[in-house]
Amino acid sequence: MKLQSALNFSHTLLKEIVQPGDTVIDATAGKGNDTLFLAQLVGKKGHVYGFDIQAKAVELTQQLIDNNNVRKQTTVINDGHENVTKYVTEPITAAIFNLGYLPAGDHSIVTKPTTTLESVQSIMQQLKKNGVIILVVYYGHPGGEKEKERILQFAQSLDQHVYNVLQYQFINQIHEPPILLALQKR
Q: What is the mean pLDDT of each run of 10 residues along the chain (186 residues)?
A: 95 98 98 98 98 95 98 98 97 97 85 97 98 96 94 98 98 94 98
Chain CA centroid to CA 53, Å = 14
Distance CA 159, CA 161 (A): 5
Distances (CA, A) of 96 to 35, 81, 161, 172, 175: 9, 11, 22, 25, 23
Is 120 a domain residue?
yes
Is 1 a domain residue?
no
Is 30 a domain residue?
yes
Strands, sheet with 92-99, edge to edge from the N-terminal-most edge strand = 74-78, 47-52, 23-26, 92-99, 127-137, 179-185, 163-168
Q: Which candidate, 176, 37, 169, places its Cα nearest to that of 96?
A: 37
What CATH number has the domain bearing residue 33? Answer: 3.40.50.150
Is 88 a domain residue?
yes
- pTM for the predicted model, two decimal places: 0.96
Q: What's the pLDDT score for residue 108?
A: 87
Q: Considering its fold, how many domains does the chain have in total?
A: 1
Name the amino acid, one letter, at 55: A
Is 174 a domain residue?
yes
Is 49 a domain residue?
yes
Phi, psi for residue 141 in degrees, rounded to 5 = -140, 165
Enclosing domain of residue 56: 6-185
